[in-house]
Structure 1
């Protein structure tokens, strides 16, 4: 039964990795590509590593450390890359309605 559960988790992780790759191809601008790639690959990595931990219980501690590292670094690195892209004025997709970072910077600049 544990082999079945581990295999299902690895398969689900692979599906999320596939959706991350598909999102990278289909999204219109760098910001949405970054969002699709980061969210889906973080969950995909977590599922795959959890499935591996079930298959190989002796590796569980090492895999838990890797999962923790992925959960801490993927969102932070994605945020830093998005801020850098915004700072060098990489354009957003044409149908993007809200630029919250620009609005926040304008409020700070106006002293509000």
Structure 2
């Protein structure tokens, strides 16, 4: 069973790293700040979630799920909040209510 969890954990982590690499490439290649922001916030949350799930599989203990799950939730909330604030700062003053 540990071999299956190890393979699953490494696969999940590889996909998570792939998401983060795509996000880095998007930040580098996309034309404007809002497009970059959209790509970064989505891929960041997905990549971190996959890496955390992979780490839980490699650790093999459920107490790691609580700690890593809390990290994922906090990063997702802060990423969404910061993304909203940055996007809002790019709006003209007339559009902000």
Q: What TM-score comes out, normalization by structure 2 length?
A: 0.85
By relative contact order (CA 8 Å, sep 6+), the higher-ranking structure is 2
Partner of residue 5, structure 1: 8
Partner of residue 60, structure 1: 65
Structure 2 unaligned blocks of 5 or more: none
Partner of residue 93, structure 1: none
User: How do 1:1-112 residues align onto structure 2 when only pairs under 5 Å count?
Assistant: 1-56=4-59, 57=61, 58-87=63-92, 105=95
Q: Name whichever structure is richer in helix by fraction.
A: 2
Cα distance in 1 for partners of 2:18, 2:87 equals 25
- Alpha-carbon RMSD across the aligned residues, in angstroms, is 1.9
Q: Which runs of 4+ in 1 moved over 4 A?
A: none
Q: What TM-score comes out, normalization by structure 1 length?
A: 0.74
Q: CA deviation at 1:86?
A: 2.0
Structure 1 unaligned blocks of 5 or more: 89-101
